[in-house]
Amino acid sequence: MFRSTRPSRFLLPGVAAAAALALSGCAAGQISQTAQQVAAIDGANADTGSISIRNVLLAEPERTNGYPAGSDARVLLYVSNIGLNADTLTSVSSSVAGSATIDGTAEVPPQTLVDMATDTGVQIALEDLNRDVFFGQSIPVTFTFENAGSMTVQVPVEVPTERSTDRPTVEILPAHPVPLWEEESHGEEGGTEGHMDSTSTAAVPTGGAVPEQGSEG
């Protein structure tokens, strides 16, 4: 009877803790998952207030080596709002660009992840770059929100899935018709048989008689 009552005394705090964790997860909603999302390509990330920007990149340029001076670069990002009030991206700027534009309504509703990285989302562009920006380089970009304020991140250029180079194409040799280990095993078997044949032949003299040990001439 004593054994049956002891576990119940310690079980109640554990149940209460589990219930508290479950309630906190429900209160957070889906935004707790989306706020932690990061893409496979390493873009810039930053947080201010209830606003988070994730995987900020300069879109893959048309040229193979990057953006030349004077060109425009599209900015790709995702914006997460874990707050209870909506916020709006009001401006984007960079010391490397003459100006920046926001095409569309950049409002971020509460408890929402907004896509500003695909063609269906808001279009953000840095115009008239004042210097070349190559792959592997990052440039400072400042994002200003109506309520959360500003944050500046170093934004890299998106790496293309394929690169065109002047290096010659390397032809890879086709697979060997017979596995090497089979060739080696056949060679070892053949060598053993040949060795046995030569040994047996040398053991019998030509005349057919076996000479006695210690006999002369």
Residue with tokens 């840095």: 126
What are the pLDDT tens digits along the chain (217 aa)?
444 444 444 444 444 444 444 444 444 444 444 333 434 457 999 999 999 999 999 999 987 789 999 999 999 999 999 999 999 999 999 999 999 999 998 999 999 999 999 887 799 999 999 999 998 899 999 999 999 999 999 999 988 766 555 555 556 666 666 666 666 665 555 555 545 554 444 455 555 555 555 545 4
pLDDT given for residue 83 in this prediction: 96
Q: Delineate the domains of the chain, giving CATH numbers in brackets.
A: 50-156 (2.60.40.1890)
pLDDT given for residue 172 in this prediction: 63
Q: What is the dihedral of CA 54, 57, 60, 65, to 10 degrees?
A: -150
pLDDT given for residue 132 in this prediction: 96
Strands, E, within 49-191: which ranges?
Answer: 51-58, 66-67, 73-81, 87-93, 97-103, 107-108, 112-115, 123-129, 133-134, 138-145, 149-156
